[in-house]
Chain A
Amino acid sequence: MELQTFAEVAIAAAVKSVILVAVLLTSFAYMTLLERKVMAFLQVRLGPNRVGPGGFFQPVADGLKLFFKEELIPAEADRIMFVLAPAITVIPALIILAVVPFGPPLNVCIPTAIGQPDWKWVCYNVPLAVADLNVGMLYILSVASIAVYGIVLAGWSSANKYATMGGIRSTAQMVSYEIALGLSVVGPTLMVGSLSLREITQWQADHYWLVLTQPIGAIIYFLATLAEVNRAPFDMPEAEQELTAGYHTEYSGMKFALFFMAEYIKMVAVSAVGVTLFFGGYLGPFLDVVPNWMAAILGLLYFFIKTFVLLVVMIWIRGTLPRFRYDQLMRFGWKVMLPLALANVAVTAVAVVLFGGRLG
């Protein structure tokens, strides 16, 4: 049975949202540990290993520490915006994955009319995405485009010149790379002929992973998202040597933790979207031959492994490359990424018209 009535759809969406947010928050905690461990490995150190086995409970200790720190608000700050900015930063990071399918549809059975003699199981075919929009890709781009507000407002409301500079830099950087980001996902959209991430995954199930014919799109997507989430080597808004800590210079305690959280959740989110667009999402071997519940678990596992690999690559890049200079960053964005992305779109469009269905 499909989800039909308003109540069924609403309850399913609520349950899936809660699970998604819980998973993202946990992934944030363990992303910090993963990053420190991988960085330590790259720099031939041990990394955190005191709290719990192999440092497993380090994120808990960090969270508790940040929780008990004093929260400072600068006297000159715009108090309303100063308090709101961390929340505005976290929300887009949490909602961006709502349209991504994490696994094949799962059959969920719940008992109805419990306690009465004629109770029975009712089974629903639940898609493992919070929402399947026919404009899913546009949804992701629009959420990514409003993600910049939190950082800008944090910088502005702090009444600190370093923070303001960080905020202004991040605006210029994110607006610049958004164009390349938007163009990089046009390629897959043209090939599939749909903006729905479910259909993009389905197309890859029927044909092949899109990275095979869209390698340039995949690379541009990856680099543009590094800049969008302010990761090294594009972490200009928080360049320590120039701006102390950029937009979050004045933040402390849990408010600082929220910025930290947003950055890591955004990393997870853009990796998950990249996996769905270019690396077949939850697809992998044996999905068709195993029973439904096992297919869902396998799908989730494949999705997790692929996202994990992308995340480790991101950390690896941070451990390897020095930070760009600001003018280099801008030149790279406008003079290399943008023309390449445009050329990729043009070539893909011509190829789709010329070869049509034979591309698949």
Chain B
Amino acid sequence: MSKVILSSLQLVIASGFMTLELIIFLALAVIAVAAAIAMLASSNAIYSALFLVLNFAVVSVFYLILNAPFIAMVQVTVYAGAIMVLFIFVIMLLGAERLRRPDSRLAWQQPLAIGLGLALLGVAVFGLLSRGGVAASPQPLNPEVALTFGSPREIGRQLFTGYLFPFEVTSILLLVAMVGAIVLTKDEKKRPTLKSQTSKK
């Protein structure tokens, strides 16, 4: 069975209809979309979070295919490794795995969300069509450019020369968010501390 699949794959590649890249892309795309749908459909918040992690992992493989290893690794480290771990941490800490029935006050948001989602899809399709469609696989880059444009060295150079201003603005934004989080949780002093608890006994 697998031999048949393999030989037919070879035939497809040899005929020039599909490149190996495109086959990998299609397989990954199916996983990515399935993971995204499963994330929405799952009734367990932990499973939703894990499907999102799977989705992030597949997207990082897309970056690898596009010759952007730096962004691929950062995608895994930041999204899958840091943000989603904190999501799961909070879900576990609050014991909020089971989703309740959606609040009736938010019911009006459902059709609105569907409409906005469709509008976004429309814009994307329009954008692609107005460019005259897309090629079955990306145009091969100049190999020298393809090897270096996504390298950490080149990204660092770009970030600290051409894109210095947006880079600094983003970092200040993150700093503000961090300070905000600390200020918001500062109130905790009113709660009994370890010391006051032990002294009560």
Residue of B nearest to A143 (CB): B76
The A interface, classified by DSSP as helix, strand, loop or mixed, is helix
Q: Determine the distance from Cα of A327 to Cα of B46 in the docked complex, in whole angstroms.
A: 27
B80 to A175, Cβ gap below 8 A?
no
- Give complex CA distance A168, B82 in Å: 14
Residue of B nearest to A171 (CB): B89
Size of B's binding interface in residues, CB under 8 A: 22
Q: Is A172 an interface residue (CB 8 A)?
A: yes
A145–B88 CB distance below 8 A = no
Residue in chain A with minimal CB distance to B84: A149
Determine the chain B residues whose CB is within 8 A of the CB of A145 once the complex forms: 76-77, 80-82, 85
Task: Tell me the residues in window 89-103 of chain B with beta carbons closer than 8 Å to chain A beta carbons.
Answer: 89, 92-93
A13 at the interface (CB under 8 A from B): no
Question: Nearest Cβ distance between residue A174 and chain B, in whole angstroms?
Answer: 8
B88-A138 in contact (CB<8A)? no
Whether a CB of chain B sits under 8 angstroms from the CB of A109 is no
Residue B74 is within 8 A (CB to CB) of chain A in the complex: yes
A359 at the interface (CB under 8 A from B): no
> Which residues does chain B contribute within 8 Å of A172, judged by CB atoms?
89
User: What residue in chain B is nearest A152 (Cβ atoms)?
Assistant: B88
Q: Quick check: B92 and A167 within 8 Å, CB to CB?
A: yes
The CA of A149 and the CA of B53, in the complex, are separated in Å by 10
Q: Indicate whether A308 reaches chain B with its CB closer than 8 angstroms.
A: no
| B151 / chain A contacts, CB cutoff of 8 Å | 134
Looking at the assembled complex, report how far the CB atom of A136 sits from the nearest CB atom of chain B, in whole angstroms: 9
A21 contacts partner chain B, Cβ-Cβ < 8 Å:
no
CB neighbours of B86 from chain A (8 A): 175
Q: Interface 1/0s, chain A 286-329, versus B by CB < 8 A?
A: 00000000000000000000000000000000000000000100
Is B85 within 8 A of A133, CB to CB? no
Given A146-B80, A195-B152, is A138 in contact with B85 using a C-beta cutoff of 8 Å? no
Taking a contact as CB atoms under 8 Å apart, the answer to whether B85 and A149 are in contact is yes
Whole-angstrom distance between the alpha carbons of A276 and B160 in the complex? 29
Chain B contacts for A135, CB-based, 8 A? 69-70, 72-73, 152
Which residues of A lie under 8 Å from residue B76 when comparing CB positions?
Answer: 142, 145-146
User: Which B residues touch A138, using CB under 8 A?
Assistant: 70, 73-74, 77, 152
Which residues of chain A come closer than 8 Å to B53, judged between CB atoms?
146, 149
**0/1 per residue, B13-39, Cβ < 8 Å to A?**
000000000000000000000000000
Report Cα–Cα, A168/B93, bound state, in Å: 7
Other-chain contact of B85, A78, A171, A195 (Cβ < 8 Å): A171
- Find residues 82-133 in chain A having any chain B CB closer than 8 Å to their own CB: 133
A141 within 8 A of B: yes
Question: Which of B50, B92, B194 meets A164, CB within 8 Å?
Answer: B92
Chain A residue at smallest Cβ distance from B73:
A138
The distance from the CB of A9 to the nearest CB of chain B, in whole angstroms, is 13
A171–B88 touching, CB < 8 Å = yes
Which B residues are closer than 8 A to A by beta carbons?
46, 50, 53, 69-70, 72-74, 76-77, 80-82, 85-86, 88-89, 92-93, 151-152, 194
The 6 tightest CB contacts between A and B, nearest first, are: A145-B81, A138-B73, A142-B76, A142-B77, A171-B89, A135-B69
* Pairs across A and B, CB under 8 Å, 21 listed: A78-B46, A81-B46, A134-B151, A138-B70, A138-B74, A138-B152, A141-B77, A142-B76, A145-B81, A148-B85, A149-B50, A153-B46, A156-B88, A156-B92, A168-B89, A171-B85, A171-B88, A175-B85, A175-B86, A178-B81, A327-B194
What 6 new A-B contacts, CB under 8 Å, besides A155-B92, A171-B85, A178-B82? A135-B72, A141-B77, A145-B80, A145-B85, A152-B85, A164-B92
